């Protein structure tokens, strides 16, 4: 059991990779446990799933993974293994559909974004492959400056890139045609993404600029999983070391869905109302209560 918990702790400590990568590692970890210990130690399932949920509680894909494993396990352990294998092998098809939708939204547009979105990177690459040279304005991504790395990546891919400070992006938004951001979670009420997304959405609405989130539906979070969801306050030393006063270091904020023009997904372009309705259809395992109880113990 310990080797699987070690992998989960690595996922919890990761500050460099996005939800898609961490989701894959978590699925691989759970599949390995099922193949090696699941049949002989089924009592380990709930603790293992609870630790997976706690690892990155603001990332909906991990919480959805826990729920789907529970639903499949309720039918049979073999069904759960099949689910995880299918999950690990399904990337290419849904990404292709999502990219096609993204091209319709971004082609010929000056793009404003923040933070790193694996999905947006795929769409920018597709634009470049079509001979487009997208113009991108991106803010720096404090406190870890993750968007600086993303800006370099966009530039190396061949895009025209402008990097600005986090606070300046709101004033420079007038130079863009469309705002495109990723997502770590979408609940029935709001989009969860890198801090700065909410004010960017407000300014975009004020200036009549379309605002889209680029996400697969794996990041839609049903209300039944809300008790597992949490936006954490991270290490204050990332902002200021040895500060003599309080430092707040949230990575994510919440943007009400009403400020979105739409969500670009593998199911097409979804309006806020369609997003809400789709989330309401997601089944939640009755065994999720055991995971919640374990997390809160």
| Active site amino acids | 184
Count the alpha carbons within 13 Å of 193 in the hemisphere toward its beta carbon.
29
Sign of CA dihedral 47, 185, 92, 13: negative
Residues 250 and 143: beta-carbon distance below 8 Å: no
Taking residue 297's Cβ as centre, other Cβ atoms within 10 Å add up to 6
CB under 8 Å to 91, separation ≥6 — which residues?
Answer: none
CA distances from 14 to 19, 64, 238 (A): 10, 19, 14
Give how far the C-alpha of residue 89 lies from the chain's centroid of Cα atoms, to the nearest Å: 19
In the chain, the DSSP E strands lie at 110-113, 135-139, 160-164, 178-181, 185-186, 190-194, 211-214, 252-256, 262-265, 268-270
8 A C-beta contact, residue 50 and residue 212: no
Pairwise CA distance, residues 149 & 146, whole Å: 6
């Amino acid at each position: 059991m310990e080797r699987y918990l070690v992998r989960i702790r690595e996922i919890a400590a990761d500050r460099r990779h996005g939800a898609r990568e961490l989701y894959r590692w978590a699925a691989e970890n759970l599949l390995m446990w099922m193949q090696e210990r699941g049949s002989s130690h089924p009592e380990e399932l709930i603790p293992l799933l609870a630790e997976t949920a706690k690892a990155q509680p603001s990332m909906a894909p991990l919480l959805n993974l826990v729920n789907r494993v529970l639903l499949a396990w309720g039918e049979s352990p073999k069904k759960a293994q099949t689910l995880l294998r299918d999950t690990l092998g399904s990337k290419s098809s849904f990404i292709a559909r999502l990219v096609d939708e993204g091209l319709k939204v971004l082609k010929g547009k000056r793009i404003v974004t923040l933070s790193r979105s694996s999905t947006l990177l795929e769409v920018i690459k597709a634009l470049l492959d079509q001979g487009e040279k997208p113009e991108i304005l991106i803010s720096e991504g404090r406190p870890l400056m993750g968007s600086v790395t993303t800006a370099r990546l966009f530039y190396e891919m061949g895009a025209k890139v402008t990097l600005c400070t986090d606070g300046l992006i709101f004033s420079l938004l007038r130079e863009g045609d469309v705002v495109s951001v990723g997502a770590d979670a979408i609940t029935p009420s709001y989009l969860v993404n890198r801090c700065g997304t909410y004010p960017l959405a407000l300014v975009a609405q004020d200036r009549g600029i379309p605002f889209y989130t680029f996400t697969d539906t794996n990041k839609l979070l049903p209300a039944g999983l809300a008790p597992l969801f949490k936006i954490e306050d991270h290490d204050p030393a990332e902002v200021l070391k040895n500060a003599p006063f309080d430092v707040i270091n949230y990575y994510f904020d919440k943007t009400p869905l009403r400020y979105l023009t739409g969500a670009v997904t593998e199911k097409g372009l979804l309006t806020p109302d369609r997003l809400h309705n789709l989330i309401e259809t997601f089944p939640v395992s009755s065994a999720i209560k055991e995971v919640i109880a374990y997390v809160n113990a």
